[in-house]
Structure formats: C-alpha cells, structure tokens
Amino acid sequence: MLVKYVMSRLLQMVLTLWVIATVTFIMMKAIPGDPFSNEKKLPEEVLRNLYAYYQLDDPLPVQYVHYMKNLVLLDLGPSFKYETRTINEIVAEGFPVSAQLGAQALLVAVVAGLALGVLAALRQNRLLDYFSMLVAVLGISVPSFVLAPILQKYLGVEWELLPVATWEGFASTVMPTIALAAFPLASVTRLMRSSMVEVLTQDYVRTARAKGLPPLFVIVRHTIRNAILPVVTVLGPLTVGVLTGSFVVESIFSIPGIGKYFVESITNRDYPLIMGITLFYSSLLIIVNFLVDLAYGWIDPRIQLAKGGK
C-alpha cells in the first residue's frame, strides 16, 4: 500500500508542477512590455535578432510547447540579462548559499522552539512559561527586516562582535541566521507548548505516571512524540521558507544567495529567470511536503495504519 500511495503522490506532484509552470508562463506573457524595453533604444534589426534568438517572435502556443519540452529535460533556459549563463547555472550557484543559511536557521528554530515549547508546558504559568511566550510573541511580531538592522546596529556596529554585511566564515552567518530563525522559532514554540499542554492531560499520560514510569521516560516516550505532530504539519512550509532564504534578509546582509537573483530578475524583467526560480521553489515545497507526509507514519503508527486501511 505504501508503494501505491507514493506513486499516487508522485503523479499529483507532477500535475501540480505542470499547473504551476503553465500559470507562471501565462502570467509572465500577460505582463505589458518585454524584457528589452528597459534597454537603450536599439535598432529594429537588433531587436528582431534578439526576439528570434530567444524565440520571442514565435506564437505563444509554440513558445509554451518549447518551454515545456525544456522543462522535461530539466532545462530552465537562458537568462535574458545574464547572457552568458543559463538559469540552471544561476540556481546552482545561489541555492547552496541560501540553503546553508536556511539550514542553520531551521536547526536553531526547531531545536530551540521544541525546547522552549516543552519547558513552557511543563512549567505552565511560571516564569519559564512567561519567558517562552515572550520570545514567541516577539518572534512573530517583529519581522525579519526590522530585526536584521537591529542586530546589525548593536552586534555589528555598536559592540563590534560580528561582521555587519559579509559572507566570509561562520561569524558572518550568525546575525542572518538569528533574523531568519526568529519567526519559525516562535511558531514552533507556540505550537509545541499548546500541543504539550493538551497531551499532558490525556488518560494515557496519567496511566503511564500511575504505573511509576520515570518522568523523563513519560515525557519523551508518551508526551513529546504525540505532541510533536502539529509541529511536523507546519514544518514543510517552514522548511522551504527558511532553506530558500529570505529575500529581505539576504539583501540586508549582502548574501549572494538565490534571493538576490530573484529580486534582480523582477527588476530586469528577466522572465525566464522569474519562471525558473518560481518553479524551483514550488518543486522544493512539494517535495518537502511529501517527505513530511511520509514522516507522519514514522512518528504516529496510527496514521500509517489508516493509510493501509484505505
């Protein structure tokens, strides 16, 4: 049954990507102007050669078929502005940087968020609980583009503890990691706390305690494992948002990640680059959500049995 489920999900993933690619293609073609409208006045012959080279003079159905053929071959096409580079090369260059920053931020958010949520639930209505909720409220209320300059001002300029806007060594990743991890950390903390508070009142937890099991064993084996499911639910979107890096954070800290290219592609009307990065992000989101769904069966066997029942 697992193989059937995986094959069904893979088919859904392919169909979803096709819809995203089609909608993105239509939207880009519906935007007024063309990629070369911002250029200085070019001779008509030069413009015709450019349109022919990039196949922009073909009818839209022909362009669409050509675009889909390239996608099947995993070829995102050439960039209009980076004339000597393909979109595959741009993504391959920028994504590892964004992924490194995102992985660090995700690790901080998940580990710290789970720890704060668990401790807050175990110390409900006490000082530690209030502190955890304060951290959660601040993380959700203060956006990254506000937190980032504050970190730069104090940790970088005033106290000179960390570099302000470079990408050289681990020290340069600390401030952007904190700025990027603040919101997911707050979300994980709130979800874990509320879920833990609910699970702690369940009968099977009381029964485990009544049997004389060690408190740590009850918390880890019976409480955390059941309370973590809501966190896993939102972990997919949070993972994609963090791993791909925040466009604003990367801009503030001058990080050479994929976000920089995406922002520049919008400014330059580099339609193939916009479509390529959008499709890349979408693919990553779909894959991560699929992996999260598979993780449900490992975390909670009841979900796995439910799938088998179908």
Digitized pLDDT (tens) for each residue of the chain, 310 residues in all: 677 878 888 899 999 999 999 999 998 888 776 666 665 666 677 777 777 777 777 888 998 999 899 899 888 888 888 778 889 999 898 888 888 888 899 999 999 999 999 999 998 889 999 999 999 999 989 988 899 999 999 998 999 899 888 888 889 999 999 999 999 999 999 999 999 999 888 888 888 888 888 888 888 888 888 888 888 878 777 877 787 667 788 888 888 888 878 877 887 788 888 889 889 888 888 888 888 777 766 666 555 544 444 4
Q: Are 110 and 187 in contact (CB under 8 A)?
A: no
Model pLDDT, residue 265: 83
Q: Are 25 and 275 in contact (CB under 8 A)?
A: yes
What are the extents of the domains in the chain?
A: 96-268
Helices 144-151 & 171-199, crossing angle to 10 degrees? Answer: 130
Model pLDDT, residue 306: 44
pTM of the prediction? 0.79
Q: Are 192 and 117 in contact (CB under 8 A)?
A: yes
Q: Which two tokens stand for residue 196?
A: 């833990």
**Chain length of the chain:** 310
DSSP state of 41: P
Q: Which two tokens stand for residue 277?
A: 């990065």
The class level of CATH for 96-268 reads: mainly alpha
Q: Are 173 and 101 in contact (CB under 8 A)?
A: yes
Model pLDDT, residue 137: 92
Integer CA distances (angstroms), 217 to 23, 193, 205, 220, in order: 51, 18, 11, 5
Q: Are 205 and 218 in contact (CB under 8 A)?
A: yes
CA 136 to chain centre: 20
Model pLDDT, residue 127: 92
A 10 A CB-CB count for 69 gives 10
Nearest 5°: the CA angle 71, 273, 290 is 55
